[in-house]
Structure 1
Amino acid sequence: MTSLMQANEARSAKRHKTESIKDAFNATEAWERLIGYSKNGYASISDDDKDFVLKSFGIFDRPATPERFMLRVRIAGGALNVEQATALAYVAKTFGQDYIDLTTRQQIELRYLRIEDIPELYKRLEDVGLTGYQTGVDNFRNILIDPLDGLAMDNIIACRSILEDIQSLFLKNPDWITTLPRKFNIGINGSLSNRCNIFGQDFALSLAQKEGVYGFNLYLGGRVGSLAHTADMFVLPSEAPEVFEAVATLFKTYGFRDNRNKNRLKFLIEAVGMDEFRSAIEEYLGRPMAHAGESLTALEGGDHYGKIALKDGSFALYSAVPSGVFSGSDLYHAAEIARSQNGSIRLTIEQNLIVAGVHDEESALQSPLFVNYPNRPSPYMANLIACAGSEHCPFGVIPGKPDAITMSEYLAYTVPIEDAKIRLYWSACIKGCGVHGAGDLGFVGCKVAKGGKTMLGVDIFIGGTLSGEGGEGHLLLKGVILDEAKEYVAELMREYRDLKTDKENLERFIRRLQHRYSNYAIGFVMQWNRLMEQHSLEAKLRFNLKTHGGSHKEPDEIYHFGLALVHSMTKSKAYDVEDPFAEGKKPYLFDTASLDVSYRPYKEIIEKMLHPNPMLRYQVFTEIVSDIEKKLHENG
């Protein structure tokens, strides 16, 4: 433990002011204050309680909706029985304007709540085994498991009992309520498919096999913007709770408490190294642990669409809830289906809902639930994530949820695609609650300066994954005006539609694309093709995936795009050979007379893309975009 102690001491010179609030926190006293506030009204709540203490019970003050609160309800593993779903529906309809958000941690958020109603609605939830305890601030958050845990054909280890054993260690335990250095996310996956973003957690147990025995490989240190890394440790199901307790205790004891932006488990592990942290786990346990086995979580998330056959002969029916915008009335309908079929409800990390245990599919699909939230949705809606956004979160830069839905509706109409999986993940700000870094395409709200005005916009990311083999998405386009972003994405979706192989999902297509082209080149194609689409011009760039990987050097990519554009615009070649310095060759110059008038504003730009002297060509795509904007401005 020496290295952990030294790392902690190096970061202990100054504790963050929040630590003083936590030192004084007492759950019983805090709850009594909450009861007092419910009697004395909103104005009586202290700033510290609004900013931190009440969040330990999942109660959040929302400045965008004055004197109204949000309650985050812990739904362990995303599983709801009929009684729980009915209670939640009643609370939403009675106290929360019939509004529900489904979250990326398989939870439910109730909004528009009055402080005076909190004790009653809280009791109604507690009576059916639900709570908001420890769903905010520096606590162990809701534990994720496969939404089809124990049910799916590819589920090897049912993890519900492991979840409950781990949760019992900390839930409502005074030693663990708001005592961690920072929030702590947990995931357990016993299935071949990764349906629970397993590698995005601080503590992750992922299905593995060693010497013929099924268990888990341990991964540590995941967070927004960074996937978890292997701890090179094989954990048997029976060992999972004590391994969790070891990691949690080490984090609580030695985790950093100074800079809240760098206090997650990831930063403690980076400070001492994973090998050292693994040794500390073994020291805490008092025994050596086996090294990692063969990872079995190899598939890319698993599809939930339509009807899903389950192990017991029943079915699960998928219901797409774009951006998680739901209601108490909708949840009532889901509960009625589950009641009539003797089934249950499961929530997914992509803010969707599954009714499991269905035997009579025909009668179930007649429910208003599947009218409002289709069983077989557009691919653009099926895996759509968006965080709360500016309407409900003080950090949100853009509305988020309506923007995500608007884009998906536009894409479904403009570039319809069937038999595809497309993951569009939206975060309204850089905090990343919409897990944008894991999306095929990710969107982050920002402000864009244009024409002397500040406008809402997004940074667009590409290439994220939920698998441990990949990584976070990388920046594709920066500062795109929000209303125009859908047009850029439509151009990429056209390429995907036309070039994808049979049943190739967008994640795999992007991997192929990135093998051949740099992200800068991909972004430029989206920009150029949008420009051509706006002006009804045909000189669009097309990706060529039949060749092997490109150089990923921008000048080279620019040159080859220039050649393609000349051929598209003039039906002739810029050079007879690709080497303009070949003996007897002359630098290409446009024959302006033969060039369609519509393309003439771009003549100088394309010539610079193809200049015989490589040093006089464009070196980066941003230069071309800047010159195009100038040309368009000059031409009105």
Structure 2
Amino acid sequence: MDSPDTDLRTPAPSAPAAAPARVRPSRSGKPQGQWKVDGPTPLNSNEEVKAAGNGLDVRRRIEETYAREGFDSIDGDDLHGRFRWWGLYTQRKPGIDGGRTAQLEPHELEDRYFMLRVRSDGALLPPRALRVLGSIATDFARGTADITDRQNVQYHWIGIEDVPEIWRRLDTVGLETTTACGDTPRGFLGSPVAGIAADEIIDPTPVIAEIKRRFIGDPELANLPRKFKTAITGHPSLDVAHEINDVSLVGVVHPELGPGYDLWVGGALSTTPRLAERLGAFVTEEQAADVWHGVIRIFRDYGFRRLRNKARLKFLLADWGTERFREVLETEYLGYALADGPAPAPATGPGDHVGVHPQKDGRSYIGAAPTVGRIGGDLLTRLADLVEEVGAEGVRLTAFQKLVVLGVPAERVEDAVAGLEGLGLRTRPGALRRSSMACTGLEFCKLAIVDTKDTAERTIDELETRLADVEDQLEAPISMHVNGCPNSCARIQTADIGLKGQIITTDEGEQVPGFQVHLGGSLGRHDLEVPQLGRTLRQHKVAATELGEYVERVVRRYVAGRDSGETFAAWTHRAEDEELR
């Protein structure tokens, strides 16, 4: 058995050959670590670690060494780097308040336990898979399990000793943690109603399966400049947040070529949000996997690696523009031109799929809302029992921390609805409960500054009482996204009410957990013509304890001051600052 030190010297995939002369350096003129422009020499410590050893190789060390010898045996570069290639991050040590997040070194913040992320990639989870996911939570994660807004299942309190057994259980139901984190192709967002919705344009299931079969776990794609996020949908509700992914394939109908996909690239949020852009290219089902492969290789070969805060694909797209990006894709990576194609139509409805909806086969699918994605081991197991009891097929997860039960026979719909409600999974939730999301927050995340899940849940409960008299007057659900730090894992810039966690100073000079406010963001909305990022109220901060009062005040002002048919997002973009405080 090789020692960890020996494995660390295993070379990473070699960088590609230099680019053709027509490919110019970045506009800054400085080396940016672009492999095809500047060469493969690492320009920072993260790139050095990746160059020293392929992150995929760490699985063997986990199974053969670390799980047997314990946490203290883990090599530092593996622990803080390569473990992410298999969905593992150390979690936050309990008892460290948010005010100390920026004051302590990462090793002072981390616990000896892990967050583990399981990718679902839009796949159907039959009862057997739900039970496996539930057993992992119950046996190894102190009962914890969350649905993320990337359709992942996320656990906490995972010990390194238990990881091989967790992988073994996941393997039995076709699930994995491969490249669920790290500078890799992360988990895919796929339409939760793929293949079954009566109004579907095209079923993306074969495309997702083909990309996964060919490319997930490919060593040649295991060293990207940063994370790479994918979204693929064929549903007219635009249900995968395609505007904020690195690459998206969105179902459209070409007037001559029939159903296929419109290609979008370069979306992402974090501290420098940027919406994706269309390349104007139509992609057939047969071309889709190769086009995805071409886009990710452009990112690998030309992405900026010198500064990690400039290493996402959105910065390359901003430097190149869509015309040049498409030219390089077609001439250098595909070897053929893509047809021009139409843009997607505006979304036909909410993309969370909450409620009861008809399938093309006469059965129904039912979308349900756990509060801010919380769904523990016992609930997963009981959900599996319910799916079997009503004769349904299984469950898919959504990009909005919700779940959808598929294949419910017509005569069992009301039984399924009652069963879901009995589990605390609302099929007819109120406007705010339906559209609220929260990231992991201070409870487990080393980057967080404030609590999110408990704060959001408490605020939703409070608002259902505060706004009970006006809820039926709302034109559409009002989304509230709560984030524990500036990185926007909960997509704060795309929410009606986005809340970015920070420590704020009260009028009395006391420092308390609170939020900066963003208002009027929207993605994939059927009630707006174009997507838009939220408006930042830069000087306005809200204490966490006053969040319910603030949201009530703004919602009531909206109800009183809106024009006929005007959405909350549209109103906030025209309202005066004082109306939004």
For the criterion TM > 0.5, the same-fold answer is: yes
Over 3 Å counting, the alpha-carbon distance change for 1:78 and 1:495 in structure 2 is farther
Aligned length: 518
Give, in whole Å, the separation in 2 of the partners of 1:5 and 1:131.
39
Question: How far 1:9 sits from its partner (Å)?
Answer: 7.0
Structure 1 equivalent of residue 32 of structure 2: 11
TM norm structure 1: 0.78
Partner of residue 80 from structure 2, selected from 37, 44, 51 = 51
Give, in whole Å, the separation in 2 of the partners of 1:268 and 1:317.
40
Question: How far 1:63 sits from its partner (Å)?
Answer: 2.8
Question: What amino acid sits opposite 1:52 in the alignment?
Answer: G
- Residue 339 of structure 1 pairs with residue 388 of structure 2: yes
- Tell me if the contact between 2:233 and 2:251 (Cα under 8 Å) persists in the aligned partners: yes
Give, in whole Å, the separation in 1 of the partners of 2:579 and 2:499.
18
Question: What amino acid sits opposite 2:25 in the alignment?
Answer: Q
Give, in whole Å, the separation in 1 of the partners of 2:50 and 2:316.
20
Structure 2 equivalent of residue 324 of structure 1: 373
- Residue 396 of structure 1 pairs with residue 448 of structure 2: yes
Structure 2 equivalent of residue 364 of structure 1: 416
- Residue 510 of structure 1 pairs with residue 569 of structure 2: yes
Give, in whole Å, the separation in 1 of the partners of 2:194 and 2:174.
19
Structure 2 equivalent of residue 278 of structure 1: 326
Give, in whole Å, the separation in 1 of the partners of 2:75 and 2:369.
40
Which secondary structure state, in structure 2, belongs to the residue aligned with residue 390 of structure 1? helix
Question: How far 1:356 sits from its partner (Å)?
Answer: 1.1
- Residue 525 of structure 1 pairs with residue 579 of structure 2: yes
Which secondary structure state, in structure 2, belongs to the residue aligned with residue 79 of structure 1? coil
- Residue 457 of structure 1 pairs with residue 476 of structure 2: no
- Residue 169 of structure 1 pairs with residue 218 of structure 2: no
- Tell me if the contact between 2:191 and 2:234 (Cα under 8 Å) persists in the aligned partners: yes
- Residue 232 of structure 1 pairs with residue 280 of structure 2: yes
Q: What does residue range 222-261 of structure 1 map to in structure 2 within 5 Å?
A: 222-224=267-269, 225-261=273-309
Which secondary structure state, in structure 1, belongs to the residue aligned with residue 60 of structure 2? helix
Over 3 Å counting, the alpha-carbon distance change for 1:206 and 1:171 in structure 2 is same
- Between the two proteins, what is the percent identity of the paired residues? 28
Question: How far 1:514 sits from its partner (Å)?
Answer: 2.8
Give, in whole Å, the separation in 1 of the partners of 2:62 and 2:483.
31
Question: What amino acid sits opposite 1:16 in the alignment?
Answer: N
Which secondary structure state, in structure 2, belongs to the residue aligned with residue 143 of structure 1? strand
Which secondary structure state, in structure 2, belongs to the residue aligned with residue 295 of structure 1? coil
Question: What amino acid sits opposite 1:181 in the alignment?
Answer: P
Structure 2 equivalent of residue 348 of structure 1: 398
Question: How far 1:2 sits from its partner (Å)?
Answer: 4.4
Question: How far 1:432 sits from its partner (Å)?
Answer: 0.7
Give, in whole Å, the separation in 2 of the partners of 1:123 and 1:281.
38
Listed as ranges, the gaps of 5+ residues in structure 2 are: 1-19, 95-110
- Tell me if the contact between 2:151 and 2:189 (Cα under 8 Å) persists in the aligned partners: yes
- Residue 474 of structure 1 pairs with residue 535 of structure 2: yes
Over 3 Å counting, the alpha-carbon distance change for 1:106 and 1:9 in structure 2 is same
Give, in whole Å, the separation in 2 of the partners of 1:141 and 1:316.
27
Structure 1 equivalent of residue 428 of structure 2: 376
Q: Using the TM superposition, name which of 410-419 and 346-355 deviates more.
A: 410-419
Listed as ranges, the gaps of 5+ residues in structure 1 are: 528-636
1:487-542: CA deviation from partner (whole Å, max 9, x where unpaired):
1211121134456689x6x8x33314534x3xxx1x41243xxxxxxxxxxxxxxx
- Residue 193 of structure 1 pairs with residue 237 of structure 2: yes
Give, in whole Å, the separation in 2 of the partners of 1:437 and 1:127.
38
Over 3 Å counting, the alpha-carbon distance change for 1:4 and 1:34 in structure 2 is farther
Structure 2 equivalent of residue 582 of structure 1: none
Question: How far 1:315 sits from its partner (Å)?
Answer: 1.2
Question: How far 1:57 sits from its partner (Å)?
Answer: 0.3
Partner of residue 34 from structure 1, selected from 47, 53, 62 = 62
Higher helix share: 1
Structure 2 equivalent of residue 125 of structure 1: 170
Give, in whole Å, the separation in 2 of the partners of 1:303 and 1:272.
34
- Tell me if the contact between 2:248 and 2:265 (Cα under 8 Å) persists in the aligned partners: yes
Over 3 Å counting, the alpha-carbon distance change for 1:5 and 1:41 in structure 2 is farther
RMSD: 2.1
- Residue 495 of structure 1 pairs with residue 557 of structure 2: yes
TM norm structure 2: 0.85
Question: How far 1:148 sits from its partner (Å)?
Answer: 1.0
Structure 2 equivalent of residue 22 of structure 1: 50
Which secondary structure state, in structure 2, belongs to the residue aligned with residue 483 of structure 1? helix
- Tell me if the contact between 1:4 and 1:272 (Cα under 8 Å) persists in the aligned partners: no
Give, in whole Å, the separation in 1 of the partners of 2:377 and 2:562.
39
- Tell me if the contact between 1:334 and 1:355 (Cα under 8 Å) persists in the aligned partners: no
